[in-house]
Amino acid sequence: MASLIGTSSSAAAAAILASTPLSSRSSKSSILSLFNSSGQSQGRKFYGGIRVPVKKGRSQFHVAISNVATEISPAQEQSQKLAEESQRPVYPFAAIVGQDEMKLCLLLNVIDPKIGGVMIMGDRGTGKSTTVRSLVDLLPEIKVISGDPFNSDPDDQEVMSAEVRDKLRSGEKLPISRTKINMVDLPLGATEDRVCGTIDIEKALTEGVKAFEPGLLAKANRGILYVDEVNLLDDHLVDVLLDSAASGWNTVEREGISISHPARFILIGSGNPEEGELRPQLLDRFGMHAQVGTVRDAELRVKIVEERARFDKNPKEFRESYKAEQEKLQNQIDSARNALSAVTIDHDLRVKISKVCAELNVDGLRGDIVTNRAARALAALKGRDKVTPEDIATVIPNCLRHRLRKDPLESIDSGVLVVEKFYEVFA
């Protein structure tokens, strides 16, 4: 993995063919129970984070949210473990040949999710999906409230569901467990209700019980949301994803009732530029941009084919051969995440980063912020507590090149303009 760190561009290809994504833990739905109660108020009332309109002189509904999920028993843990073992094996991240730029962008986002995700564009068959899904084995563990469908963080109220927050404020002790960061795949044919969640209005009117079914954004909270062929996704769904990724919250509104829940996730998109580009306004919402190309070296192509043949012949044995490298990389990621808060960047370097952005006419300040974050994450990955100009040179093309395009008909710069401006300012 030495070639991975400190490299901003690649000329090789990754292993080909997509692996089946690791299925996420089943999340139980939340039930919103309604019971009738008389009242003499007018306007809107809030119950458990839900806004309900009420009228004077009429009976009003009080809404309470309660999760039906309970703490996972040892038998359930055992069955979950057996289910994971029976899944199709995932290609090891350490076995990916080449594509250092893409791998580095993914690792930096795992170290610091606030970078804002990564958009991966490249030729078909270059291992984009395989590389993203192979990241599953390297994801660290996090603390969650057991049985909570939103993966609430017991130590951070910003990523807690309304019900968990209310229970903690009332002094109730909730069971805490550790689980790996979740990766959720978003299919191209997904509807807005499947992505955001849905409220069963008919059930509320006929049975007096109002059920909220969390969507993919709830499942991806504090995890990774992967959208393959994101450039083919409907624009309104892309807008929903990017808004939730930027704000960290998802709001579902149906028939005057509004429900919000935390939705902080790393958004990873991939696509083939031949099938169309994203609008510049949407591209800007991705923190980093990685380009992958088809390998031209014959020897390297043979190595990729041989490695893939070994994996297809005996996936378990192949994964075992890379176990030591996988564990080493996982420990490196854990150390970097723990040391990230202590990494500093000099004011002079911050000024030069902003000068590069200004002279390249980058709109807004996202380019400045992402470049600072990515440089700090790279320094942490290298085991240092201070950012160097070399760190900035490595990440700045991935942070800025997709922000230079003003016209939707223009193509994304390869990064040459960013590199030239960097050396001009940092000389």
Q: Which of 222, 366, 373, 401 is catalytic?
A: 366
Half-sphere exposure of 333 (CA within 13 A, CB side): 27
Distance CA 400, CA 373 (A): 13
Write the DSSP symbol of residue 404.
S
Could you confirm whether 366 is annotated as catalytic? Answer: yes
Do the beta carbons of residue 105 and residue 288 sit within 8 Å?
yes
Is the distance from CB of 1 to CB of 329 less than 8 angstroms? yes
Q: Is 28 helix (H, G, I), strand (E, B) or coil?
A: coil
Q: How many angstroms separate the most distant Cα atoms in the chain?
A: 81
Helix boundaries (H) for 61-144: 74-85, 100-111, 128-134
Can you state the angle between helices 389-400 and 100-111, rounded to 10 degrees? 100
Q: Are 52 and 44 in contact (CB under 8 A)?
A: yes
What radius of gyration, in Å, describes the C-alpha atoms of the chain? 23
CA dist 120 to 99, 117, 266, 302, Å?
Answer: 11, 10, 13, 24
Cβ atoms within 10 Å, residue 378:
27
- Which residues does the annotation mark as catalytic? 366
